[in-house]
Amino acid sequence: MTKYSKIFTFLLRLLALAGTVAAVVVMVTSHDSAKVLNLTFTAKYSNTPAFKYFVIVEAIAGAYSLITLFLSSKNLFRRLVIILDMVVTVLLSSCISAALAIADVGKKGNNHAGWLPVCGQVPKFCDHVTGSLAAGFVAAVLYFLLLLYSLYNVLDPLLL
């Protein structure tokens, strides 16, 4: 790997780390409550399994990013890192999809199932979830770019 390639990879990993950490922090701090007919309802990320899954996967991806920032770029580790990059990219894609599905139901409801939208009652919670999903999506895109760049480096067209 050339010097510029290592710098580019390091920057992509650093940005992906920032995206995953931001997604976790914003999602974990998301909570709001609403009062309906003298009953108080609290909305937290931990009330929804899809949001828990999102936080867990983003935390795993952030820890993985931190570890790979300090890993050497020896051939043995480089191939393992590419495989793990693919696994993390797929996990990020799945957790974003699950969390987006729940967020959409929370925002728009589902007339066929009789579920009402809740974002009108807990807007602070919905804003935090939206910000967290945006940061998570950025991290997933960065990991996808990192995966493509790593595969390009492994399958160097000059060697073929």
Its sign, for the CA torsion 137, 11, 89, 65, is negative
Q: Where are the domains of the chain?
A: 1-158
* DSSP assigned state of 48: -
Q: In sequence order, what are the beta bridge partners of 39?
A: 36
Its sign, for the CA torsion 137, 138, 142, 143, is negative
Residue 157: the pLDDT is 59
10-residue block means of pLDDT along the chain (160 residues)?
A: 77 92 90 73 82 94 89 67 89 94 84 77 86 94 90 67
Global pTM? 0.86
Map tokens 């050497």 to a residue: 72
Map tokens 């795993």 to a residue: 60
Q: How many CA atoms lie within 13 A of 128 on its CB side?
A: 17
